[in-house]
Amino acid sequence: MKRTLFALLIVTALVAGMAFGLAYWLRCRSCSTPRIDWVRELNLTGAQAAQFAALEAEYERRLAEICAAHCAARAELAEALADPAKAAAYCARMCAAQAASEKLALEHIYQIRAVLTPDQQPRHLALVQQQLSGACPMRLHQP
């Protein structure tokens, strides 16, 4: 009797674990945006690839600064939840950082576009549009 109950518990745990794993994998797979190999997708020349890499490095550097400001404001918000006025101020700082992030991304899109030839620009636009409309960054819904 104990063996049967023990075996049933193990099978139940395995099935529940597999179900959770499958659901998590399907959810994350449908919401993730794959990395694009821009050099290959846009058929960049060596000079364009070098410019692209420099712009990308600067974008990542500036984005890291914005992210640090956002995370600092979020940590301060966590500490200030007892004070509604302070919490609202930290929330506003978080929102400002998020807005700066979105503006930086748009600026980066146009900087990259300026490096491209007129023949490459439509493909770039299509890939960016796909990224913007293809996945929910908060993973809350599917577009």
Per the listing, tokens 């930290």 go with 90
Examine residue 22 and state whether it is found in any structural domain, yes or no: no
- Could you read off the pLDDT of 14-29 as tens digits, one per residue? 666 666 665 655 554 4
Please report the pLDDT score of residue 10 as a whole number.
Answer: 78
Torsions phi, psi for 120 (to 5 deg): -85, -25
Examine residue 51 and state whether it is found in any structural domain, yes or no: no
Q: How far is CA 25 from the centre of its chain?
A: 17
Examine residue 26 and state whether it is found in any structural domain, yes or no: no
Helices (H), ranges, the chain: 2-31, 38-42, 46-79, 84-115, 121-134
Residue numbers of the domain that contains 69: 57-115
Total count of domains within the chain: 1
Task: Please indicate, yes or no, whether the overall pTM of this predicted structure exceeds 0.85.
Answer: no
